[in-house]
């Protein structure tokens, strides 16, 4: 028989080993990959399961506006193109817009919970439209249609977080903006990052840690571009304290989950294209994941 002391030693070693395995498992954050696979064959009868496509975009245009390049399994690329007149829309008091965007269907962004995510993008030449509002990523809490002017009292909703790639004479400017308000007609967008120069045709890596809150001072937002952290780590309100979208139980929620693509003020005669890759989301700190660490948020 094994002596009592030796038994205790073996049990202790097993416990240590198990604790070590548990700790190692805890270091690996669960990841949701924004796969493009079902976007490649999407049509009106077979919409993608993971993504929503801009609702005003004619499904007959999906195959020409959203193109998948799966030739490299390690880095599938999504090519998105906007033509004049694509998914046109105009809110009261705003300029007419056009867009082609995809939106993750899963509820990855929730109020008062942190989410980490990463994506890569590449602007395709020519990236035209000097000074034009050109949003390539956004997260939004909408205001119900019946509460928006002229039916209701509110101005149209603005993204609580968005990234723009504003065309310039030498390429584009990367700009990150936030917006939160206690009243649907109050508040303005605030720049927390940029303008930083982007070279057209080159890949860029973006990391985001986002915990939106309707309570002033309770949000947390950090953004980095190619490893360079934005100047401001935002902690103010994000979303609409009043009139923002509510679920069936009356709780505020973020109905516009992360969108990727092009949302722009109308540009007659101008076609724009952008590539996306490596879209991933984490519900816990992903510091140990190479997909995150290759563009980790760091000091300037």
pTM to 2 decimal places: 0.88
Task: Give the model's pLDDT for residue 299.
Answer: 33
Residues in contact with 125: Cβ distance below 8 Å, sequence separation at least 6, in sequence order: 200, 201
Residues in contact with 47: Cβ distance below 8 Å, sequence separation at least 6, in sequence order: 53
Q: What angle do CA 175, 285, 68 make, to 5 degrees?
A: 60
Task: Give the model's pLDDT for residue 290.
Answer: 86
> 28-51 in b/e burial notation, b at 16+ Cβ within 10 A?
ebebbebbbeebeebeeeeebebb
The stretches in the chain having pLDDT less than 70 are: 1-28, 92-93, 294-300
CA atoms within 13 A on the CB side of 124: 15
Task: Give the model's pLDDT for residue 21.
Answer: 41
Task: Give the model's pLDDT for residue 176.
Answer: 98
Task: Give the model's pLDDT for residue 95.
Answer: 84
For strands 239-240 and 180-181, give the pairing: parallel
Distance CA 297, CA 273 (A): 27
Select from 88, 2, 53 the least CA-distant residue to 259: 53
Task: Give the model's pLDDT for residue 4.
Answer: 52
Per-position DSSP letters for the chain, written without gaps between them: ---HHHHHHHHHHHHHHHHHHHHHHHHS--EEE---GGGTT-BTTB--SSEEE-TTS-GGGHHHHEEEE-SSTTS-EEEEEE-TTSS-B--TTS--EEEEEEEE-S----TTS-EEEEEEEEEPSP---TT--EEEEEEE----GGGBTTTSSBPPP--SEEEEEEEETTEEEEEEEE-EESSTT----EEEEEEEEE-TTSEEEEEEEEE--SSTT--EEEEEETTEEPS--B-S--EESSS--B-TTS-B---EEEEEEEEEE--TT--EEEEEEEEEEESS--TT-HHHHTT-----
Task: Give the model's pLDDT for residue 94.
Answer: 78
Please check whether residue 243 is in contact with residue 54, taking contact to mean a CB–CB distance below 8 angstroms: no
């Amino acid at each position: 028989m094994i002596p009592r002391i030796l038994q205790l030693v073996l049990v202790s070693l097993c416990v240590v080993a198990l604790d070590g395995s548990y700790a190692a498992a805890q270091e690996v954050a669960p990841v949701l990959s924004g796969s493009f696979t079902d976007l490649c064959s999407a049509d009106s009868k077979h919409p993608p399961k993971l993504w929503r496509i801009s609702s005003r975009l004619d499904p007959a245009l999906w195959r020409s506006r959203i193109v998948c390049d799966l030739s490299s399994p390690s880095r599938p690329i999504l090519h998105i193109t906007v033509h004049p007149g694509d998914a046109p829309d105009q809110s009261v008091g705003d300029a007419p817009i056009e867009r082609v965007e995809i939106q993750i269907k899963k509820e990855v962004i929730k109020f008062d919970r942190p989410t980490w995510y990463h994506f890569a993008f590449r602007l395709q030449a020519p990236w035209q439209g000097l000074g034009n509002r050109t949003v390539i990523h956004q997260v939004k809490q909408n205001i119900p249609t019946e509460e928006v002017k002229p039916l209701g009292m509110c101005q149209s909703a603005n993204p609580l977080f968005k990234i723009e790639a504003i065309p310039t004479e030498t390429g584009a400017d990367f700009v990150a903006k936030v917006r939160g308000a206690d009243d649907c007609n109050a508040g303005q967008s605030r720049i927390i990052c940029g303008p930083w120069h982007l070279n057209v045709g080159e890949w860029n890596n973006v990391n985001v840690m986002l915990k939106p809150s309707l309570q002033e001072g309770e949000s947390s937002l950090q953004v980095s571009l190619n490893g360079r952290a934005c100047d401001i780590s935002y902690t103010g309100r994000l979303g609409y304290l009043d009139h923002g979208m509510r679920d069936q139980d009356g709780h505020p929620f973020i109905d516009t989950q992360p969108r990727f693509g092009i949302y722009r003020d109308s540009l007659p005669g101008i076609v724009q294209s952008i590539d996306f890759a490596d879209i991933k989301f984490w519900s816990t700190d992903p510091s140990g994941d190479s997909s995150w660490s290759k563009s980790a948020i760091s000091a300037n």
